[in-house]
């Protein structure tokens, strides 16, 4: 199956130029290697130049083609500058993958004095992505060709507790993309949202209880991105993501009760500091019933 996917990918993206944000680790890094192995010229974008240079060297050592661009996506001026540099270097982008993001696990009642958490999460996950899209979109529209892939979250579909700042920022990008999709449809530009479940990456490492719940591997996450490139769907979600979305649409009170149970079953990040991190059998069972959900 994997061999067939890679073969299809090579046929589809050979020679294409693909920009990946957050490409220095986790989903972005694994996706960059997969796409470079399939013959794409991958443009790697993240904050740390040294790390990006190392990723670029690894890709080139495997026979791939990569370029590295250091940029803090919290800074709109840096986004404008790097966008101009990228378009000067390669003239156009075939596929943009908005993968960079910040996640904060904290309940609203623990955030009354931390409004800055909401501001900085929105700045990176929403404003940073939108600014980059708006800088690269004109060339896509001129060429009547392009694909924008946004790495969203299963939490947007399931209304994940303790992740209000993160989910709100991803939902904002989701709404922007749905509006944009109709506007650029006649320009042959596809917009895809991938409602990613939990993936075992450095972003979730600080939450130690996630060591004991089901997650995707970065390789499985990269396969979701690869399939999105091939099929250009409006959205990609797991079975649980689709079920959560349907449940909320048909019976929102049921969705609310299920999420409330999970909220009360799992400790907050601050409450679990210095305490054993292993889950009891009830927590384990609940996590397996809802695999990939954020708790």
Task: State how far the Cα of 97 lies from the Cα of 34, in Å rounded to an integer.
Answer: 13
Determine the Cα–Cα distance for residues 19 and 80; give it in Å rounded to an integer.
15
Dihedral, 285, 259, 100, 47 alpha carbons, nearest 10: -80
Active site residue 166: yes
The two structure tokens encoding residue 212: 């004991």
Helices assigned H by DSSP within the chain: 2-13, 26-37, 49-61, 76-90, 115-122, 129-143, 154-158, 164-184, 218-231, 239-250, 252-265, 281-289
Tell me the backbone φ, ψ of residue 14, rounded to 5 degrees.
-50, 120
Q: What angle do CA 109, 286, 241 make, to 5 degrees?
A: 80
The residue with tokens 């993309």 is 177
Q: 59 pairs with which residues across the strands?
A: none
How does DSSP classify residue 170? Answer: H
The radius of gyration of the chain from alpha carbons, rounded to an integer in Å, stands at 19
Catalytic residue of the set 166, 195, 210, 286: 166
3-state secondary structure of 8: helix
Q: Residues in the chain, how many? A: 295
Structure tokens at 91: 């003239």
Separation between Cα atoms, residue 71 and residue 47, nearest integer Å:
5
Catalytic residue numbers, as ranges = 166
């Amino acid at each position: 199956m994997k061999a067939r996917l890679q073969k299809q990918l090579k046929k589809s993206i050979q020679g294409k130029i693909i920009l990946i944000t957050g490409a220095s680790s986790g989903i972005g890094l694994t996706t960059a290697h997969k796409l470079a192995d399939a013959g794409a010229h991958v443009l790697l974008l993240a904050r740390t130049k040294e790390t990006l240079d190392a990723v670029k060297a690894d890709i080139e050592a495997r026979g791939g083609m990569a370029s590295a661009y250091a940029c803090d996506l919290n800074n709109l001026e840096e986004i404008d500058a790097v966008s101009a540099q990228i378009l000067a270097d390669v003239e156009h982008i075939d596929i943009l993958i908005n993968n960079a993001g910040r996640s904060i696990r904290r309940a609203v009642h623990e955030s009354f004095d931390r409004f800055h958490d909401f501001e900085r999460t929105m700045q990176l996950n929403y404003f940073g992505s939108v600014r980059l899209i708006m800088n690269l979109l004109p060339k896509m529209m001129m060429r009547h060709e392009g694909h924008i892939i946004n790495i969203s979250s299963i939490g947007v579909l399931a209304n994940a507790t303790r992740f209000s700042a993160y989910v709100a920022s991803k939902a904002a990008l989701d709404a922007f993309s749905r509006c944009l999709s109709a506007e650029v449809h006649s320009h042959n530009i596809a917009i895809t949202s991938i409602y990613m479940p939990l993936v075992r990456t450095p972003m979730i490492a600080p939450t130690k209880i996630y060591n004991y719940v089901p997650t995707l591997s970065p390789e499985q996450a990269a396969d979701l991105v690869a399939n999105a490139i091939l099929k250009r769907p409006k959205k990609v979600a797991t079975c649980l993501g689709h079920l959560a979305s349907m449940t909320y649409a048909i019976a929102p009170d049921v969705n609310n009760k299920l999420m409330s149970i999970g909220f009360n079953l799992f400790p907050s990040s601050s409450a679990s500091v210095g305490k054993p991190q292993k889950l009891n059998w009830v927590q384990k069972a609940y996590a397996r019933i809802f695999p990939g959900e954020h708790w």
